[in-house]
Structure 1
């Protein structure tokens, strides 16, 4: 079972990176990743061939692939066939094990596959209602199953899952517009929303959008631009209404089960960027740029996981969409209410950006198989080694399950992270030793007023007696940080300075390469241990009121 689970985790990590990140925070990861792996496999079927290149034989082959998954679920998961060809799939084996533990509702799994199969022939949905029905059958069904893995089966929670799933599905449809246009030459915008007067007008709009790849909006006529912007705004409005409704009803869901709705967070972040900086331009390259999304999504997911609350935040502004008139139809006016999960503590998870659904681009199976056979991490052999952690840095064993090494936003990259780690290692080693030294031998000369054995209490004693010393220390620390920041920036740009290297080498260790590398490894290992030690000393001091030595006894 461990190998099957590792296969599912790696598959989801390759094809649905946002889903992978959410899975790291769930309390039932084996069942979650089994379901996500199934979803990734069936979502990839439609994208395995371009719409324009599908012959009748190709379409039949794709239909047979869907039927294979349906038969596998019927015979292995809900039947007694344990040793046929279907049971050779690690995904099916993982699903069977999860079903034995949680008892998945059969119609949700079948609806998930059938909706993808029905979508195989769809070039453009006729109405918004048709698209909403598809998103419920696919995305909401996944949320229903996710709730079951958390022990929640009631109508109130399912209502929240329905609205959240529809909202996520509509946002994914918007996100996939550039991909569908480029690869399949069709639009994931319903006909009644696009409101072109004829199929020829629709085809002209597609050709105009395809005319200039870098700036698809530029070649459009004024009439086409207005039609296009109105359609995008209306889809955003409907998606936002459903997400807002889910937010209002989330109080009905048990707190421990709200982790099932973490996939809402990436959708809300996308909506905020689309409405804000992108100004409803779905072709803006920054919308799906991982370097522009990772850090903010990291913080939003962190607070969501810790608080279990979904509330409106300032980065997601409220707005309204002007009524959109359709010939012969009643005017529609949807209000955009945005909600997103906020965070209470940072730095718990990092984003490996991406998205997955029927609309999202899927990798070819051969490419995925190659990736899944990539070199494994030494620290976590069930995960692939992060591409930037090649073992060249001291203490690098490929431990990066959250993808922090791939963050590259607002000045933060692997060089910056290594610099920060070394700095905190050195500070933690001095702090851990200093706590014990002062407790054992007393305060330094001039600091006699800080007499308590608990260093947290001693700090506040010193603060009350000599606040000017604390102020001077803060100024001095600020100067050191400024110098360190300049060194980090110049070193990163020039490539001539290793992280943490300030040229201090009084013992001339750098001259002996083997000895230098040995001390580098010792420094990073002891520093990582010291960070845990210092954090433990502070936590114990705040909890018990005793010093580090006192807490040992």
Structure 2
């Protein structure tokens, strides 16, 4: 698959830089060829993640999501694909299964449009695995071989950490972002995220060096989850962000060593 770093990929990188700084920094720590894969995947995620929030009209949000489903169906079919600064480079790096993973991601994102609370913890877990998990799986698949179970565990841990960080904004928007917001329930969720993160890292050997950059976004996951477990109130307070200098140093070390 082509990973040419052309004007479209540059536009994708700029979109990710503006809207998803942690993933932008993680992609910039990757080899140049990997960036040509990661930026279109991450730009797609930016577009889909914000689609339900740029309008108060559910029908318009659904139409935006359906547009992306239709574009991915074109990629999955292997024929002509619509011209678009994100779709065009995305079509160069996804195979049919990768496109299918991202279609499933969009289907999970319909929760953001419906704005109903999660039914239970299992429902919440499915959402995190289908959004963050499928994103990591699609990115890794486009880069190189990796064990699916490792990617699922890593994707859940990363998605949970990012979700915790987003909770103040979600609550301000009138959402109920957790099935159980009590401190003990938040602590248990954080503990489960850390368990799955540790499990994924124990199996690093099952992720090829080519696919490893798809897991570089995990660089802040451990500190965020540990902070949430130590003091669950920090989730609602928006006080989970690691110290910037220490965090950047951690990313640099992981990128140099490959030990995501």
TM-score normalised according to structure 1 size: 0.43
Paired positions, count:
254
Which of 220, 238, 255 is the equivalent residue of 1:305? 255
Listed as ranges, the matches of 1:449-460 within 5 Å are none
| Contact residue 233 and residue 280 of structure 1 kept, 8 A | no
Which of 166, 190, 208 is 1:176 aligned to? 166
Higher fraction of helix? 2
Structure-2 residue corresponding to 1:17:
21
* Equivalent residue, structure 2, for 1:139: 132
| 2:117 match: secondary structure | coil
1:281 deviates by 2.2
Aligned twin of 1:91: 86
- Pair 1:162-2:135 in alignment: no
Could you say which residue in structure 2 is the equivalent of 1:457? Answer: none
C-alpha distance in 1 between matches for 2:86 and 2:116: 29
- Aligned counterpart, 1:258: 212
Compare relative contact order (CA 8 Å, sep 6+) and give the higher one, 1 or 2. Answer: 2
Q: Distance in 2 between matches of 1:279 and 1:95?
A: 38
Q: Which residue of 1 aligns with 2:11?
A: 7
Distance in 1 between residues matched to 2:24 and 2:40, nearest whole Å: 11
- Do the aligned residues in 2 keep the contact of 1:164 with 1:261 (CA within 8 Å)? yes
Aligned partner of residue 203 in structure 2, secondary structure: helix
**CA gap 1:142/1:4 in 2 versus in 1, 3 angstroms:** same
- Identify if the C-alpha distance between structure 1 residues 177 and 286 changes in structure 2 by more than 3 Å, giving closer, same or farther: closer
Correspondence 1:296 to 2:213 = no
Post-superposition Cα deviations, 1:220-249, rounded to whole Å, max 9, x if no partner, equal xxxxxxxx3212212212212221221222
Say if 2:193 and 2:225, in contact at 8 Å, map to a contact too. Answer: no
Inter-partner Cα distance in structure 2 for 1:148 and 1:4: 21
Q: Is the 8 A contact 1:8 1:34 kept in 2?
A: yes
Matches within 5 A, 1:62-73: 62-73=61-72
Q: Please name the residue that 1:46 is paired with.
A: 52
Larger C-alpha radius of gyration, 1 or 2?
A: 1
**Structure 2 segments unaligned to the other structure (5+ residues):** none
State the secondary structure of the residue aligned to 1:90: coil
Maintained 8 Å contact 2:168/2:236: yes
- What are the superposed Cα offsets for residues 328-359 of structure 1, whole Å, 9 maximum, x if unpaired? xxxxxxxxxxxxx5xxxxxxxxxxxxxxxxxx
Query: RMSD value over aligned CA atoms?
Result: 2.2
Work out the CA distance in 1 between the residues paired with 2:164 and 2:131.
Answer: 16
